[in-house]
Amino acid sequence: MPTAVGDKLDEAAKREAGRAFGGSVFLPSDEGVPVDVSMPVKMNLKTSGAGRYPLDQIIGTVADFYFGEGVFESLMSLGVAGNNIHLRENPRGDSFEIYGIVDMARRAGIDFRNDFAGNVGGDMIEGRDFFWHDVPDGRWFTRIPQLEPINRPGTWLLNISKFKAHGMGLTLCSKNLQGMMARPFCVLCSAADSDMGVPRYLHGDAIDFIRSSYERHRDDLRIPRWDRPGPQGGIWQEVWTQRTLDNLSITPCGLNIIEGIYGRDGDCGTGGPHPFDREGNNPQGTPQVGARDYMHNMIIFGKDIFRTDIVGHWLGGHEPGNFGFFHIAVERGMSDALDPRKVPVYLWDGESAVRRPVESFHRTPLLTYYLQRDYGGWTEPLYHMVDEPYDYGSAAIQGELPQPEKPSALVLFRDDSAASIEYTIPMSGFTRLEIMDESGTTIAVPVDDYRLFGSHMVSWNREGRRSGRYNYRLRTNTNVTTGTLTL
């Protein structure tokens, strides 16, 4: 979904972008998620260097909280109670207060806790602060403590991440959920030979498994860049990936969102290759370098966390096939996607979802320090792009929705003024959708353009039209299908 924010510090524009997103994606319906559901929200709110940097230098490290505020307002306008929206994040000092996140939560009237500073077995109390969840298919963990009420029965998790670079590539949705675990479990980036201080909750052979799995992925599967030596090399990515997938394997998400109004390259904090010399931050006059934010103006969202992140990596200028995380997710049976060109991507403008080639969306290159090639004769800079070509054909992963056999149409949502219609076509080509009354007279043509094969959605303005049965005619290059739409 495109946004139109001119400045990353424009609070009103970012809040309105959140309202526009929420107002067009969350709709009243006879089916779906009850408005009285308990809704945990995991936003990427980690910040670093609290108080040392002005807001314009630090803000790119978090999912924009003004955008989040707009999303919360849209949910509450539908009847979701503010005290049922539970914003959760592991704390980072006093940064939540300094940078206005606490004030945002107060304005929005939602439930926000930032007092999870203790550790499981210490200050953190089961039932009040966290709940234990078993990991039946875990490779590293046997149990995981997640901040209350995340992943509790009857809850619906909203995952709002940030379009930004990190040592694991781009952080996005999968890594964002790392911060919903209680300490010290959330430190998934710790060394491969570390038991994280919680050995009783790990498989007995966890460290040996990581070593053998890493060697197999490096030597047999030849996952790109997995051959980088040292503790910050491929072995580090292997253990982070397995720990992260353990967490994701037991955590269903209602919706995954990458807030990409603006994107940050460099690292997840303020480090990066770009010179800056802002007043008050360079008292000695020596050159400094840091991260940089770019206006991307795109919200990326989906129900499948892996497809959402694959598209996010692509739009960040990277080739997702070069990231071992996605390969191992497929190997563990948690995903069947790898090639961004085979993931159905739609342009959402608030009224219609039209399938577009992923190559048609603008890309904003975000430099990362993921597995730098500074070995074996390579001289890649610390901050770089992971955009070398990848042969997806060798991976033998389809990652594509089944092709429909025939055209069809279905009303997904309706109110007094509009109806959202999903229509499906088996071949790409010119497509025309006509709505007719009982007499056969055409009263609306919601679609009259070229469309890629697959499913699309369009909004029909039905103001003044009564409820009941209408006829439709769906024309494509080689097919004409008729049917009824019930409103």
Q: What CA–CA distance (Å, rounded) separates 237 from 249?
A: 18
Strand ranges inside 11-156, DSSP E:
39-43, 85-88, 111-113, 130-134, 143-147
Architecture of the domain made up of 408-486: Sandwich (2.60)
Give 166 or 406, the one with higher predicted confidence. Answer: 166
Mean pLDDT score, 344-348: 93
Mean pLDDT score, 6-27: 96
Q: What CA–CA distance (Å, rounded) separates 182 from 118?
A: 8
Q: What is the pLDDT of residues 51-104, one digit of tens each?
A: 667 777 788 889 999 999 999 999 999 999 999 999 998 876 677 888 888 999
Of the pLDDT bands very low, low, confident and very high (cuts 50, 70, 90), residue 164 is very high
- Most confident option among 38-52, 110-124, 330-344, 463-477: 330-344
Tell me what pLDDT residue 375 has. Answer: 95
Give 217 or 397, the one with higher predicted confidence. Answer: 217
Domain ranges of the chain: 11-395, 408-486
Q: What is the pLDDT of residues 275-286, one digit of tens each?
A: 764 444 444 444
Least confident of 269-278, 441-450, 472-481: 269-278
In a 10 Å sphere around its CB, with 0-12 CB exposed, 13-18 middle and 19+ buried, how is residue 157 labelled? buried
Q: Which of 382, 265, 244, 373 is nearest to 318 (CA)?
A: 265
Give 24 or 428, the one with higher predicted confidence. Answer: 24
What is the pTM (predicted TM-score) of this model?
0.89
Tell me what pLDDT residue 284 has. Answer: 46
Contacts of residue 198, defined as CB under 8 A and 6 or more positions apart, other chains included, come to: 120, 184, 185
Joined together, the tokens standing for residue 401 give 């929705």
Q: Would the pLDDT of 345 be above 90? A: yes
Tell me what pLDDT residue 121 has. Answer: 79
